Structure 1
Amino acid sequence: MLVMKRTKVLLLLLIILFAFYSLIVEPNFAIIVVAVEVKLKNLPGDFNGYRIVHLSDTHFGEFHLKLRDDLVLSKVKEIKPDLIVFTGDIVSSKHSVEEAVDFIKKLASIAKVFIVLGNWDYSSGASKILLHKLCSLENVVVLVNNYAVVSRGKSSLYVVGVDDPYTRRSNLSKALENIPQNSTKILLAHSPQIIGEATGKVDLVLAGHTHGGQVVVPFVDPLFVPLPARYKKYVHGLFLVNGTYMYVNRGLGTSILPIRFFAPPEIAVIVLKKSGS
């Protein structure tokens, strides 16, 4: 009888600890900075060592502590990036647009910000007002199936952005129109499933959407990855797919359930290197 009571107490404590860690600690305090070096053959020499901060999936409107946003801004400022990119799912609610725009405005005071939208930005009903407000910000560029030129020294590269592939809004052919074939192209897309049509057309893909699984049981595949079956392997990290690199970011926020477990929120620092340097 005593053993059973102790077992129940221990089980209750474990449940409380799991809830506290997954709801409060990991989503808000366990933000990690991941440095990723990507070597590109045709990278202009002027861009050797170029640092891109890659953020994704903040999901403003889902439960989180404001401290999370302050920590992210502080860490990004310390990194001193050359460029910041944001690969969608900015909000989960149209009522949180102002909060999200204020956060991005602060990011834009650190470095120029390039943004694409994700499925939640649309399903929340926030896309129109979000686009309007983001496009009015200084030092912020929203890419919707188009591109922008980034210059450094006497060289340039192309930042290409497609609308959300998960909801079939992407048009990569349109986005790549008029870009010189041999130029360096970095593609921003919310969902990694864009890799199916991006290989051989761009040098690097930066994506999010998966949350790294969000809830991961050690030594077991993530419980849920919102991707078509053939793309479920692209949960998190750097991949080389038929000559094209892709980095999938775990993102910063949560969706459906306001918890993270063994899938800490991340800030990725993509360091471009010229192959052979």
Structure 2
Amino acid sequence: MENGILNYRLKLKRLLKFIPKFRPITTILILPILLFYAYFIEPNWIEINSIHLTLPHLAQEFNNYRLVQISDIHISKWMTQKRLNYVFQLVNAQKPDLIVLTGDFVSRRQQRFIPLLQNTIGQLNAPDGKIAVLGNHDYWSDPEGVDQALTTNQIQNLRNAVTQISRGKAKLYIAGVDDVMVGQHRLDRVINNLPHDGAAILLAHEPDFADTSVKTHKFDLQLSGHSHAGQLRIPFVTPPVLPILGRKYYAGLYDLGEMKLYTNRGIGMTGFHLRFNARPEITVFTLDAGSRELGVGD
């Protein structure tokens, strides 16, 4: 037994001596592969995320309603017309009843790409229309220019406003707050214009605003973007870099009691044009009335 323990210790000692020499070699071999994947593969590998969601106040007339969300397109030199066309074709292929876009159409100080936005986004198509809110990057470039690009293409930009979708006498309300980070939001104005009947969905670019919106007891669901899920995410670890107002609810579905929140991972990127374990996303919601439990991908 003693010899066995001594032999084990000797092997362990040799292994520990080897590890410091091995790590740099491993890094040299693996790092280029990871960078290749994070730059060339994952940013182009769009996930279609299908979610069945029950909204307690949704009228039966809206059962199986298909709502598609995209967010954070961040048009830039990287986000070319070819890429945009591909994204918008994927959205249309989901056969949405309604398309919502939750901000950051262009990146900071990249207003020269607004004409590209205006010339491509019109191909989005849904029978109940297209509804948007602006994000912080839109305000850091040219918010009025982005607004014009949207409205020219029949996309309704909700700036602290409410609109409605009808199925006979039944209503589904879509509300939108203008960007929270830059202080343009007026939730009180939204609440004052929100009727009491029917389900209500809030579009808010920054997901952490949910801690405020849930306290109003007015919304069944908040849809947000902003965080890109951190863009670079080590598995099982909170992303090391997350934006203000996107650190608490940075990706996916959250149940906040009276209200659910979904944070879309976005399509484009900021900073380094890299994504790792944070694939770009198109979210397809199938909305149901009644008491069925929510589920992802059922």
Normalised by the size of structure 1, how large is the TM-score?
A: 0.90
Match of 1:181 in 2: 196
Q: Which amino acid aligns with 1:52?
A: L
Q: Where does 1:114-193 land on structure 2 (aligned, <5 Å)?
A: 114-124=131-141, 126-138=142-154, 140-193=155-208
Equivalent residues of 1:38, 1:272 under 8 A apart: yes
1:101 aligns with 2:118: yes
Q: Give secondary structure in 1 for the equivalent of 2:124.
A: helix
Match of 1:195 among 184, 203, 210: 210
Deviation of the 1:7 alpha carbon: 7.6
Deviation of the 1:110 alpha carbon: 7.4
Q: Give secondary structure in 1 for the equivalent of 2:114.
A: helix
Match of 2:43 among 27, 32, 37: 27
Deviation of the 1:102 alpha carbon: 2.4
Distance (whole Å) between structure 2 residues aligned to residue 19 and residue 265 of structure 1: 17
Q: Which amino acid aligns with 2:234?
A: V
Deviation of the 1:67 alpha carbon: 4.4
Q: Deviation per CA, 1:71-120, whole angstroms, max 9, x where unpaired?
A: 32222222100000000000011011011222321114776210100000
Match of 1:250 in 2: 265
1:110 to 1:94, Cα distance in 2 relative to 1, 3 A:
farther
Deviation of the 1:32 alpha carbon: 0.3
Deviation of the 1:166 alpha carbon: 1.9
Distance (whole Å) between structure 1 residues aligned to residue 251 and residue 27 of structure 2: 31
Q: Which amino acid aligns with 1:157?
A: L
Q: Which amino acid aligns with 1:91?
A: V
Equivalent residues of 2:128, 2:165 under 8 A apart: no
Distance (whole Å) between structure 1 residues aligned to residue 270 and residue 168 of structure 2: 41
Residue identity (%): 35
Equivalent residues of 2:68, 2:283 under 8 A apart: yes
Normalised by the size of structure 2, how large is the TM-score?
A: 0.84
Match of 1:218 in 2: 235
Q: Which ranges in structure 1 are unaligned for 5 or more consecutive residues?
A: none
Deviation of the 1:65 alpha carbon: 5.1
- Which region of structure 1 is more displaced relative to structure 2, 215-224 or 14-23? 14-23
1:62 to 1:168, Cα distance in 2 relative to 1, 3 A:
farther
Distance (whole Å) between structure 1 residues aligned to residue 286 and residue 254 of structure 2: 15
Q: Which amino acid aligns with 1:45?
A: Q
How many pairs are equivalent?
270
Equivalent residues of 2:147, 2:157 under 8 A apart: yes
